[in-house]
Copies of this chain bind each other. A is one copy, B any other.
Amino acid sequence: MLSLTVLLLMTLNPVLTNNLTQEIDVLVFLPKNNSFLFSQARVAPAIRYAQHALTAQFPNFHFSLQLQDSDSVNQAVFALADRSCERKPDLILGPVREYEAAAVVRLASHWNIPVVSAGALAVAFRNKDSEYSHLTRIAPSYMKMAEVFSAMFERFSWRSALLLIEDDMKERDCYFTLEAVYHVMDDYTVKSLTFSEEEPLRSDEILQNIRDTEVVIMCAGADRIREIMLAAHKQQLTNGSYIFFNVDLFNASSYGNGSWKRGDEHDDDARQAYASLNTVTLLRTVKPEYRNFSIEIKKSTDRLGLRDCSDCGNVNMFVEGFHDAMLLYAVALHEAMKNGYSKKNGTEITSHMWNITFEGIAGQVSMDINGDRNGDFSLMAMTNVEAGSYEVVANYFGVNKTFQLMSAFDSKRFMIKGRHEANPELPQ
């Protein structure tokens, strides 16, 4: 029955053979503004790198890229509508930011255009049944990150969490990040406190709420995290009775053993306070091809004077993601065409991007059945309090939901001091 359908379609679409050149229009929504880690100047070189690499594997695919600034929802929607009235693009890459992505993905889904983004990470986008049907997320969403916490809560028998969220009311990265944690923590007692960047730290309220919980999960700027940790340390809350986390997904170079250090009189207290702080971040891999890619991309951005960090060898998740988006789309288009469908069948092409595993630039990329990338994360902790230095103590692999414990892992670190005595019914 299937083969008959395929045959029929191939007869109806006789031009769709793999030997004919396919002109593929790619509309790329990325901001020109270089204050974003996913600006055009940073990400476009990676897309072109992929475009070049694909010529060997798919010589008949000719990608033409059109870069579109996406600095506001209106700009993005108007561009898509204007552009699509003449000729609809075959593929949309981006937008990254939630509000632009929501508007663009809705219209693109309505028009049967596949969208692949290394952003659109918020919880809402997992609903692919209706308005986000054509969205494939090539970077691990906030929900995937949140799984790390639910897995730890189960493993270590924690019961309650306090979410501390710095919300800028613009990008809202931290809000959307911890919103996902809130979503996956149905089985636990979870409270949240939100504050703005500008307002002074509401220490009393925060410390009181910490006292009422076991695990504190923070998403905030580095200075605010330090301020909270110092306040907690002053009140002896960093003595092991509470477990602290911060989430640091994008600024992969800005956290780590230096984040407590400011060269001020609080450095020593901060170092001791950070001994209780664990950081959840993206797992970074280092296969040889990735090195070459990374060096090439850095050359491009260096030429533009965009040195994001002097000491980091890796490009960021967005750069990597949009590269892999091109690979994934090419494979899916190839599969769809083999089955007799044209490049205009966005639903069909999208379905071939979901529920598969492929070799991305940094390592294996596993897409779940819902078109969202499974995420691998690292857990970092201070392993030398004297030096104040950090190490990865565990990795979490989303595809099989397992932890890999490193030699530096110390399970005592994740036991809540004094709790088991008070709650003898809990597993030891």
Q: Which residues of A contact B (CB under 8 A)?
A: 74, 77-78, 81, 84-85, 106-107, 110, 131
| Candidates B74, B78, B85, B110; contact of A78 at CB < 8 Å | B110
B residues less than 8 Å from A84 (CB atoms): 81, 85
A27 CB to closest chain B CB (Å) equals 15
Bound CA–CA A122/B291 (angstroms)? 54
Can you list 15 contacts pairing A with B, beta carbon distance less than 8 Å?
A: A74-B106, A74-B110, A74-B131, A77-B77, A77-B106, A77-B107, A78-B107, A78-B110, A81-B81, A81-B84, A81-B85, A81-B107, A81-B110, A84-B85, A85-B85
B residues less than 8 Å from A107 (CB atoms): 77-78, 81
A162 CB to closest chain B CB (Å) equals 26
B residues less than 8 Å from A110 (CB atoms): 74, 78, 81
| Copies per assembly | 2
Bound CA–CA A78/B108 (angstroms)? 10
Bound CA–CA A131/B107 (angstroms)? 19
Closest to A81 in B: B81
A325 CB to closest chain B CB (Å) equals 25
Bound CA–CA A107/B84 (angstroms)? 14
What 7 new A-B contacts, CB under 8 Å, besides A74-B110, A74-B131, A81-B107? Answer: A74-B106, A77-B106, A77-B107, A78-B110, A81-B84, A81-B110, A85-B85
Bound CA–CA A81/B77 (angstroms)? 10
A364 CB to closest chain B CB (Å) equals 36
Bound CA–CA A131/B85 (angstroms)? 21
Closest to A79 in B: B110
Closest to A88 in B: B85
Bound CA–CA A131/B74 (angstroms)? 8
Bound CA–CA A96/B106 (angstroms)? 22
Closest to A78 in B: B110
B residues less than 8 Å from A131 (CB atoms): 74
B residues less than 8 Å from A81 (CB atoms): 81, 84-85, 107, 110
Bound CA–CA A377/B81 (angstroms)? 41
Bound CA–CA A11/B77 (angstroms)? 36
Bound CA–CA A85/B81 (angstroms)? 8
Bound CA–CA A78/B111 (angstroms)? 9
A154 CB to closest chain B CB (Å) equals 34
Closest to A85 in B: B85
B residues less than 8 Å from A78 (CB atoms): 107, 110
Closest to A131 in B: B74
Closest to A106 in B: B74
Bound CA–CA A37/B81 (angstroms)? 31
Bound CA–CA A83/B393 (angstroms)? 57
Bound CA–CA A107/B85 (angstroms)? 13
Bound CA–CA A77/B81 (angstroms)? 10
Bound CA–CA A247/B206 (angstroms)? 41
Bound CA–CA A106/B131 (angstroms)? 20
Bound CA–CA A131/B73 (angstroms)? 11
Closest to A84 in B: B85
A231 CB to closest chain B CB (Å) equals 32
A73 CB to closest chain B CB (Å) equals 9
